[in-house]
Chains A and B, each alone.
Chain A
Amino acid sequence: MAVLRDSRLLSGTPRVAFSAYGYLLFFVGTVATAILAREAEVVCVLLATMVFAGLFSSRSLSLLLRWQLWVFVLPTLALSPLLIGKRDVLLWGLMLSQEGFWAGLWMVTRALSIALAATVFARTVSVAQMAQLFEGMRLKGLGFALGVATNVLPTIQENMDTSYQAMRLRGGFRSRRLHTLKLLLVTVIAGSLRRGDDIVWAAEARAFDPAQSQGQPIAVARADVALAAAMGALALVLLML
């Protein structure tokens, strides 16, 4: 019903080797193996995740170039020798902890593996397929709701910004800040719901039925089974080590 602005909905998945279930399995499997891996073993998990990303969703590797990622990684690496473990090494006039350094490094490696796997899932599985995955769990109409949400999100963000600036310029935050915040929230919600009424009328005018599934159900591919076997074997090896 609603036309999503996200190009992934229109373009579909870039590769057809795995179904949406396969990529979901990859994400869940990576989280599980990252938890099971001890210390340096987690480097193997990260390498495996990077190889998979390189082969099946090379665009996902651009995550490593994002400054937002490094804003998380660098402070974690810098703070862990100061916050974790006994400080036993003097470096550049600072007492640091070796244990903390390694704990921080493995933590960052784990986080990178999980973030990369989640990015692969987000990049390869379209918004419509994500909605279908949830609709398969008896959440009917989620695809439609997600489409509407994606469409109204920029408008809501703009509405929030405009309302905030208007209240700030009128001196709303100088006194009774909580009351102003409450008014801001009421304004944003009421404005968005008014816009929502237009969407309801448009959908009902086109006789939209949320009970009917939007699109073809997702079928499990052979590659998904092979992936499940590979991830299971990796988890087993990590458990036995």
Chain B
Amino acid sequence: MRFSVRELVYIAIFGAIWGALELTLGSYLHVIFPPLADTFLVGLIMAFLGVIVALVGRHFVPRTGSVFMIGIITAILKMISIGGVQAGPLVAILAESLLMELGLWVARKPRRWGFVLAGALAIAWNFFHKFIMMYILYGKGVYDVYVGMVKQGASLFHIDASYALVIIVILFLIRILAGALAGWIGWDLGKVVRGRLAR
């Protein structure tokens, strides 16, 4: 992958914008909602914003690898931030940027449906991320722990445990829809920013 100076600067800027969002809003949300108490909201919000920024970046650097480079820069900025190193967001940022790249590669040329696919794939990771990070943190008993948590959640909401699967499917679909929406917004926002710069 070879980029021109202008493309590299644009990649740096979009990486820094995503990084700034992670360092400010991300850290703030993680303090308000601790990882064990919140399993849905923070990751979804941060992924949604990150996907929009990275995909607007793709408008300005329409070449394979640009979104992944933006993700690497964001991850490194997050790593060297004052808040210290958190493995979860680092893995999420890198995985999301790789998945966005995959979606954009399938579309070949910059197209709205390519952006929508890239966004949906990226935020779908958010669902699996929980399982993987729980495996890393909990160790080998992750399945038992997860089943236990589902049972407790079912009893807490006074619903049958068998509906927990339905709830999980709905949560997954919400992520897909949020990702598709982020891709749609990213496509539109890219055009708006281009128009603003042309003034």
Is the A/B pair a real complex? yes
A107 and B138 form a contact (CB under 8 A): yes
Complex Cα gap A170–B19 (Å): 27
Shortest Cβ-Cβ A-B pairs, 4 listed: A148-B12, A118-B85, A75-B34, A149-B12
B17 and A106 form a contact (CB under 8 A): no
Chief secondary structure at chain A's binding surface? helix
The answer to whether the Cβ of B166 comes within 8 Å of any Cβ in the partner chain is: no
Within 8 A of A (CB), among B42-63: 52-53, 56, 60
Residue of B nearest to A107 (CB): B137
> Which stretch from A10-18, A132-140, A223-231 is at the chain B interface?
A132-140
- Given contact pairs A75-B34, A203-B5, A185 touches B20 in the complex (Cβ within 8 A): no
In the complex, how many residues of chain B place their beta carbon closer than 8 angstroms to a beta carbon of chain A? 62
- Given contact pairs A38-B139, A141-B8, A149-B12, A115 touches B87 in the complex (Cβ within 8 A): yes
With a cutoff of 8 Å between Cβ atoms, the chain B residues found around residue A106 in the complex are 138-139
Q: What total count of A-B pairs have CB within 8 Å?
A: 187
Task: Convert B1-35 into 0s and 1s, putting 1 for each residue whose CB lies closer than 8 angstroms to a CB of A.
Answer: 11111101111111111011001100100110011
B197 and A119 form a contact (CB under 8 A): no
Complex Cα gap A106–B148 (Å): 17
The answer, among A68, A84, A138, A186, for a CB contact under 8 Å with B193, is A186
Task: Convert A104-116 into 0s and 1s, putting 1 for each residue whose CB lies closer than 8 angstroms to a CB of B.
Answer: 1011001100110
With a cutoff of 8 Å between Cβ atoms, the chain B residues found around residue A111 in the complex are 87, 137
Residues of chain B having any CB pair with chain A under 8 Å: 1-6, 8-17, 19-20, 23-24, 27, 30-31, 34-37, 52-53, 56, 60, 65, 69, 72-73, 76-77, 79-80, 83-87, 90, 135-141, 145, 148-149, 152, 185, 189, 192-193, 196-197
With a cutoff of 8 Å between Cβ atoms, the chain B residues found around residue A114 in the complex are 87, 136
Known: A104-B36, A122-B79. 4 other contacts (CB 8 A): A71-B31, A122-B85, A145-B8, A189-B14
The answer to whether the Cβ of A208 comes within 8 Å of any Cβ in the partner chain is: yes
A-B contact pairs, 13 of them (CB 8 A): A68-B27, A106-B138, A144-B12, A145-B8, A145-B9, A148-B9, A149-B77, A153-B16, A157-B20, A157-B23, A189-B17, A192-B16, A196-B13
Residue of B nearest to A198 (CB): B9
In the complex, how many residues of chain A place their beta carbon closer than 8 angstroms to a beta carbon of chain B? 73
Chief secondary structure at chain B's binding surface? helix
Complex Cα gap A142–B192 (Å): 28
The answer, among A6, A103, A122, A138, for a CB contact under 8 Å with B1, is A138
Determine which residue in B1, B9, B138, B192 has the highest number of CB atoms from chain A within 10 A of its CB, and name it: B9
The answer, among A8, A127, A160, A211, for a CB contact under 8 Å with B24, is A160
A186 and B34 form a contact (CB under 8 A): no
A192 and B17 form a contact (CB under 8 A): yes
With a cutoff of 8 Å between Cβ atoms, the chain B residues found around residue A144 in the complex are 5, 8, 12
Complex Cα gap A204–B138 (Å): 50
With a cutoff of 8 Å between Cβ atoms, the chain B residues found around residue A69 in the complex are 84
The answer to whether the Cβ of A96 comes within 8 Å of any Cβ in the partner chain is: no
Complex Cα gap A146–B14 (Å): 11
With a cutoff of 8 Å between Cβ atoms, the chain A residues found around residue B13 in the complex are 148-149, 152, 156, 192-193, 195-196
With a cutoff of 8 Å between Cβ atoms, the chain A residues found around residue B80 in the complex are 6, 8, 122, 127
